[in-house]
Amino acid sequence: MKTLLSKPWIWSFVAALSVWLATIGVTGGASTVGLSQAALTFAAFSVLVGIGQMFVITLGPGNIDLSVPATMTLSGTVALKYMDGANSLILHGLLIAIAVGIAVGVLNYALIKALRIPPIIATLSMSFIVQSAAIWTNRGLRIKPPQVLADFTTQTSFGIPNIALLALLISVIAWVLLHRTPYGRWIAAIGQSLPAARMAGIAVDGNRFVTYLLCAILAAVCGYLLACFSGGAALNMGTEYLLMSIAVVVIGGTAVAGGDSNVPGIWGASLFMFLVVSMLNTYGLGAGVRLIMTGAIIITVILLASGRKAATR
């Protein structure tokens, strides 16, 4: 029990559970299954982008990928446009989404490396170009996703949403990558101290490049799934995932300063963020309060997290 309590990710689950109970309490338990399934589904999308963002944040101070929302929008738009509702092109669509992710990832790191600017500015500039590309492709048309894919993203297996199962699979892979492979060690080393990692003979550029690539690909895949889930790509579909991807990483107990990440916390944080919004909705509070709460939660969590670090020192 004590070792469990010392895990940084446990708190996000505790928070998620209490909000879940509070919401159930108001609705009188009528919507328990529906709420839980919705929470798992929406959390799954946050988890997908959150994992990518977590790898980037692991790389250390200043490493944040702000192009996540634009990448999601572009990949969703392009893939849906290509598939044009045809079930036979689902795989092609996925490959196209991944290709979009690769392209954005490569360009992101090319900017970071070639212009030697902070990643945050490089990815921000890139996101504007990607966003424009999405607007240009979209042209205000709303193309329906292939029926098979739409069904897959909205249905459940064994009572658990398919999307959540998929996100779980990717989470497990991410955990192995982070904790069992040399790559995971290397990016954690880079995040703790870039010069020390370089001096230890770690191929810093290669590892950072792969990480930005990974983040962009995950964002692209998430955009592809989200577009299918919501019945078509919308230009603003990625917007809320900018802060969300960072928030779930931070709330999940990953060190904002880098070098120390954890995958389970992202699940707790993603569930928590969705449940807070739905709780505020249940209580009848508007968009303004929701925004304020989101911001306040993030700042509170960073404050608490920094306090935790200071205490163990």
Partner 1 sequence: MPSLPAAAVLPAAALPAAVLEVANAAVRFGEVRALDGVSLAILPGECIGLVGHNGAGKSTIVSVINGGLTPHQGEIFSDGTRLAPYGIGVARSRGVRCVFQELSLCPNLSIIENTRIMHRTLGGFGWRTRAAAIIASSLDAIFPGHGIDVSGPVGALSIAQRQMVEIAMAFSDAGQPPRLVILDEPTSSLDAGLAAQLLAHVRRFVASGGAVILISHMLNEILETASRIVVMKDGKIVAERAAGGFDHAGLVEAMGSAVPHQTAARRNLAATEPVLDLALPKGQPFRACKGEVVGLAGLGGHGQTRMLLALFDHHSPQWWPRRDPAVTFVAGDRRENGIFELWSILKNMTVAALGDLSRRGLVQDAAEAARGAEWKSRIEIRTPDMNNLILSLSGGNQQKVLFARALSTRAPVVLMDDPMRGVDVGTKREVYGMIRAEAEAGRTFVWYSTEMEEMQLCDRVYVFREGAIVAELTGEAISEHNILRASFKAEAA
Partner 2 sequence: MKLSTDTLRLIVPVVSLLVLLAGVFYLQPRAMSYNGLNLLFNLAVPIALATVAQMLIMAVNDLDLSMGTFVSFVACVAATYLHDTPLLGALILLAAIAVYAALGVIIYLRDLPSIVVTLGMSFVWAGLAVLILPAPGGTAPEWARAVMISKPPLLPMAIIASALLAIFAHLLIMRSSFGVLIRGVGGNQRSVQRAGWSILMARASAYALAATFAVAAGICLVGLTTSADANIALRYTLLSIAGVILGGGEFTGGRISPIGAVIGALTLTLAGSFLSFLRISPDWQIGAQGAILIIVLALRLLLNRLESKGGAA
Q: Min. distance of Cβ 16 from partner 2 in angstroms? A: 19
Single out the residue of 22, 102, 106, 117 in contact with partner 2 (rule: CB under 8 A): 117
Of 15-23, 39-47, 115-123, 185-193, which part binds partner 2 (CB under 8 A)?
Answer: 115-123
Output 58 or 162, the one with its CB closest to partner 2.
58
* Site mask for partner 1 (CB under 8 A), range 164-193, x = bound: ------------x---xxx--xx-xx--xx
Residue 141 near partner 2 by CB under 8 A? no
Residue 307 near partner 1 by CB under 8 A? no
**Do 226 and 71 meet the contact criterion of CB atoms below 8 Å apart?**
no
Output 29 or 206, the one with its CB closest to partner 1.
206
Instruction: Please count the residues of this chain forming the interface with partner 1, following the rule CB under 8 A.
Output: 26
Half-sphere exposure of 290 (CA within 13 A, CB side): 16
Tokens of 280: 């505020």
Query: C-alpha distances in angstroms, 191 versus 6, 174, 177?
Result: 22, 17, 16
Of 59-67, 123-131, 198-206, 246-254, which part binds partner 1 (CB under 8 A)?
Answer: 198-206
Give the integer Cα–Cα distance in Å for 190 and 198. 8
52 class by beta-carbon count within 10 Å (0-12 exposed, 13-18 middle, 19+ buried): buried
Query: C-alpha distances in angstroms, 271 versus 52, 106, 127, 250?
Result: 17, 31, 27, 14
Residue 34 near partner 2 by CB under 8 A? no
DSSP string, 172-223: HHHHHHHHHSHHHHHHHHHHH-HHHHHHTT--HHHHHHHHHHHHHHHHHHHH
Closest CA to 234 of 72, 29, 94, 25: 72
Please give the DSSP secondary-structure letter assigned to residue 63. Answer: -
Q: Is the dihedral of CA 257, 262, 267, 269 positive or negative?
A: negative
Q: Min. distance of Cβ 255 from partner 1 in angstroms? A: 8
Instruction: Please count the residues of this chain forming the interface with partner 2, following the rule CB under 8 A.
Output: 46
Single out the residue of 205, 291, 300, 306 in contact with partner 1 (rule: CB under 8 A): 205
Tokens 């919004």 sit on residue: 277
Residue 130 near partner 1 by CB under 8 A? no
Single out the residue of 167, 255, 263, 266 in contact with partner 1 (rule: CB under 8 A): 255
Tokens of 151: 């069904």
Single out the residue of 34, 62, 206, 295 in contact with partner 1 (rule: CB under 8 A): 206
Q: Min. distance of Cβ 164 from partner 1 in angstroms? A: 26
Q: Min. distance of Cβ 249 from partner 2 in angstroms? A: 10
Q: Min. distance of Cβ 9 from partner 1 in angstroms? A: 16
Contacting positions for partner 2 (CB under 8 A): 61-62, 64, 111, 114-118, 120-121, 124-129, 131-133, 135-136, 243, 246-247, 250, 256-257, 286-296, 298-299, 302-303, 306-307, 310
